Structure 1
Amino acid sequence: MATKRRPLRPNLGQSGPSSGTNMNFRPGGPDITRAEARGTRPTAAPTSIREILVMGVIHLCKKTIFFNTDLKVALYLGSLFIISLIGDFLPFPKTYFARSDNLFNLYFVKVGWGWTLMFAVPFLVLSAYTITCGDMKRMLRHHFPRIVIATFFWFFWTKLFNIVETSYGRCNIKGYQSKSSCLKAGHLWHGFDISGHAFILIHSSLVLIEEARPIIKWETIKEHLRNELHNRSVSEKTGSNPLRYLNDEQMRSLQFLYTRLTPIIRTLFIGMAALQLLWDIMLVGTMLYYHRMIEKVVSGIIAILTWYFTYRFWYPTNGLLPDAPGDGTFFYQRESFAFRRPTHLPTCTQSAGNQMPNPNGSSNKMSAQTSVQQQQIPTFMGMPLFTNVKAASAAASSLYSAELKRREQQQQQQAGIDS
């Protein structure tokens, strides 16, 4: 026989106009007191289907453009050597990409640096302006020079390649001392023609990859803003929020800029990812049909050394301008805590009597718990599942307890089998 449901708070309806009604819900909304609200965190706004689709596209673009850069550099060099060497002795079948007047070569590769700047410059300006909280001087001084430096190296190396070919070449017909006069007469100029196409394509790809890095964890800025505004509303000054050192004016600027510019930044990032993929495809065409192997390998080495000197050596060095991509008034890409999988848990084949204490006198359980607290934060589509240290620590402790219990059960079963 069904029984009447007991109210959650039976004393709530004893006074007032609704004294005869037992309300089966907890009071909240505007009547909640400040003391009851303290210690709670605001929840995220509902996510629309459009937002989910956009984040899916962004996640796919991240997987494409942020493919292991060191491995990609090795693939560039290896492919330039192997594919070009094969092409020098065994010409590949001619395709549309073998024609020098193909659409991609005329309208993309020959003006490749212009396409790169068309996406990289506005993305750099808008993202850097946001993470510097609207500080135009800081953006121009600490971030914009990266594009100027990359453009300088593009101009310097391409001009040097032309000088080398012109100065150390000869016409196939005697009597012509310059490349221009030889070509105008309809003859061929033989020189060491370092591949400008290979250099531009690799240099542009690496610049796009590095300049796109501010998009990594970009969505977490929204979480940090919501949590920090809540902390300030309840006068809570402790915590690990990277925005806690910003003043009120910087917080307002960051909130406004992030809301207004994020859709544009995402669109530009999708364009950068698509352009970087196109450059890789066109690089394969260059490997197959243009220049000799040594000319392409030399240009590839120069492009990679230029990238390594600037983005891996120069910019990350503290105290030297400009800053690395993603560095701003706050650091939203740093891990506040990290977990690592337990490495000191006893194995299934070990019995309880065979567990040896470690040299420091602490048990294996303690060392395992320490390593669990260093496990990597679980993520979904690049977003962390936990937004604060307490939640992640609680999840890690729960995982550790479950894992330890499972191991103990296995040990007991193994001990029963052995006996």
Structure 2
Amino acid sequence: MVTKRRATHQTNQSSQSKLNFRPNTETPGWETKGKKPLPEPSSVKQVLLMMVLHVCRKTLFIDTSVKVAIYGASLFVISLLADVLPFPKTYLSRSDNILNQYFVKIGWFWTLFVTVPFLVMTSHTYCCGKRDKIMHHLARLLIATFTWFFWIKLFSYIESVCGHCNVKKYQTKETCLKGGYFWYGFDLSGHAFILIYSCLILIEEARAINGWEGIRDLIRNEEHARNIGDDSVSNNPLRGLSLEEFYILKESYDKFTPYIRFFFIAMTFLSILWDIMLLSTILYYHKMVEKFVSGAIAILMWFITYRYWYAIPRTLPNLPGEGVFKYKDVKQTKEVPQKRRNTTSVSGAKGQLPTFMGMPLYGLKTQEPKEQKDEDLDNETDIQAPMNK
């Protein structure tokens, strides 16, 4: 009976050994110690969102010099043609159309409505919650608001002083219009000014989103380095942050990023709307000189502030994206495990993560050739064999 039981026990062991034909291919803990953590896989929703953001970037971030040249040429050439050869009337030629009544006439409100939340959330993140630095960034919009208010009032004053009524007994613009008559003056186009100035402001303030998606990698790698006490990594821009600053950055980034993306998309659509309404203004309203002068003033104000004043080092206010650490134009190298450095990824490049529209697709893992997998299994079997003996 004892012999029979021993035979049965040996048979069960041999059966179990045959069932466990697949060797353990898990990487030992000591082999992964100190390596950077892998990013989370990208879902279909995230990929579609990245596609939308990519299209918005391509639409909004046209070379500003080219866009300014297009504005200047349109204000001169198309406006001159519209003065000589009036274009056919359309719905946009009516001053009571919906876009003109509810958007253009309160255009600066809509510009601030999408820009202020975007600026506050982005600056709160890359300034790590420091209120003085956030206020420095908000100062740009205060200056822009003062610029808009000053020039609009000046345009109205010039029209009142340099004009006359078609009935001589009325000497002021207010009394002339109240009497039901017409006031003829040098009517600088406030619409052309506000539409061009708003578009340029939207482009400049939206630049804070450049490199925004890469902050996630910076946070993940820095958090891992701090958890394991690795002081050898010095190329991460977040290395100089204190523990409190790093915690505020991580919390703000996770909290605000969905809203920042939404407002960036809204800024893109608003910029498109302003360009459409600018074309309507060029075709149907004001004279060429009135539109060209007001547009030139808008471009000049943008150039003085964003291209000269804010670009001076150590001068307030700063340009968008300048905070307590650098994240724009920071290129992170994706480390590949030693075992897979000679493998080919889905994108065809060796040792690299596949990308789509410039964004890494973390959900797609690198593929190993069949020969490499077999070689790895053989090596692990050779290592386990002496241990089993």
Q: TM-score, normalised by structure 2?
A: 0.80
Partner of residue 252, structure 1: 247
Tell me if the contact between 2:137 and 2:319 (Cα under 8 Å) persists in the aligned partners.
Answer: yes
Q: Residues of 2 paired with 1:314 and 1:379: CA distance? A: 37
Which 5+ residue runs of structure 1 have no aligned equivalent?
1-16, 339-377, 387-419
Classify 1:263/1:88 alpha carbon distance in 2 versus 1 (closer, same or farther; 3 Å).
same
Matched, 1:308 2:303: yes
- The answer on 1:32 being equivalent to 2:29 is yes
Q: Name the residue aligned to 2:157.
A: 163
Partner of 1:100: 95
Say whether 1:240 aligns with 2:216.
no
Offset at 1:203?
0.6
Per the alignment, residue 373 of structure 1 pairs with none
Q: Distance in 2 between matches of 1:224 and 1:254?
A: 11
Aligned residues: 328
Q: Does the alignment pair 1:383 with 2:377?
A: no
From the superposition, tell whether residues 19 and 229 of structure 1 become closer, same or farther in structure 2 (CA, over 3 Å): farther
Q: Secondary structure at the match of 1:244?
A: helix
Q: Which residue of 2 aligns with 1:60?
A: 55
Q: Is the 8 A contact 1:240 1:336 kept in 2?
A: no
Q: Which amino acid aligns with 1:318?
A: P
Contact 1:220–1:383, Cα closer than 8 Å, also in 2: no
Question: In the alignment, which residue of structure 2 is the partner of 1:139?
Answer: 134
Closer, same or farther: CA 82–212 of 1 in aligned 2, 3 Å: same
Aligned-partner SS, 2:240: coil
Does structure 1 conserve the Cα–Cα contact (< 8 Å) formed by 2:211 and 2:329? Answer: no
AA matched with 2:29: I
Instruction: Tell me how far 1:336 sits from its aligned partner.
Output: 5.2
Deviations 1:144-198 (A, max 9, x none): 1011000000000000000000011111121111001111111111111100000
Deviations, residues 103-155 of structure 1 (Å, cap 9, x unaligned): 11000000000000100001000110011112223211x21101100000000
Q: 1:38: how far off?
A: 3.8
Q: Percent identity?
A: 52
Change (3 A) 1:134 1:85: same
Q: How far 1:379 sits from its partner (Å)?
A: 6.8
What's the counterpart of residue 402 of structure 1?
Answer: none
1:75 to 66, 70, 73: 70
* C-alpha deviation, 1:241, in angstroms: 1.4
In 1, the alpha carbon distance for the partners of 2:138 and 2:154 equals 25
* Shift in Å, 1:20: 9.2
Letter in 2 for 1:186: G
Q: What amino acid sits opposite 1:154 in the alignment? A: W
SS state at 1:93 partner: coil
Alignment of 1:19-418 (within 5 A): 21=20, 23-28=22-27, 32-33=29-30, 36-140=31-135, 142-237=136-231, 238-335=233-330, 380-383=356-359
Amino acid at match of 2:56: C
Counterpart of 2:302, as a letter, is W
Residue 380 of structure 1: how far off its partner (Å): 4.0
Specify every segment of 5 or more residues in structure 2 that has no aligned partner in the other structure, as ranges: 1-15, 334-353, 363-389
- Corresponding residue SS for 2:167: coil
Structure number with the higher helix fraction is 2
Structure 1 residue 205 displacement after superposition: 0.5
Q: Quick one: distance in 2 between partners of 1:25 and 1:85?
A: 78
- Deviations, residues 178-226 of structure 1 (Å, cap 9, x unaligned): 0011111111111111000000000111111111111111100001111
| Contact 1:98/1:289 (<8 A) preserved | yes
State the distance in 2 between where 1:69 and 1:380 align. Answer: 26
1:235 Cα deviation from its structure 2 partner: 2.5
CA distance in 2, matches of 1:214, 1:379: 22
- Relative to the length of structure 1, the TM-score reads 0.74
Residue 319 of structure 1 aligns with an amino acid whose one-letter code is R
* Cross-structure match for 1:362: none
Name the SS for the 1:41 alignment partner.
coil
Following the alignment from structure 1 to structure 2, what is the Cα–Cα distance between the partners of residues 61 and 337? 23
The superposition leaves residues 82-112 of structure 1 with CA deviations (integer Å, 9 ceiling, x where unpaired) of: 0000001110000011111111100000000
SS in 1 for 2:195: helix
After superposition, the C-alpha distances for 1:261-309 in whole angstroms (9 at most, x for unaligned) are: 1001111111110000000000000000000000000011000000011
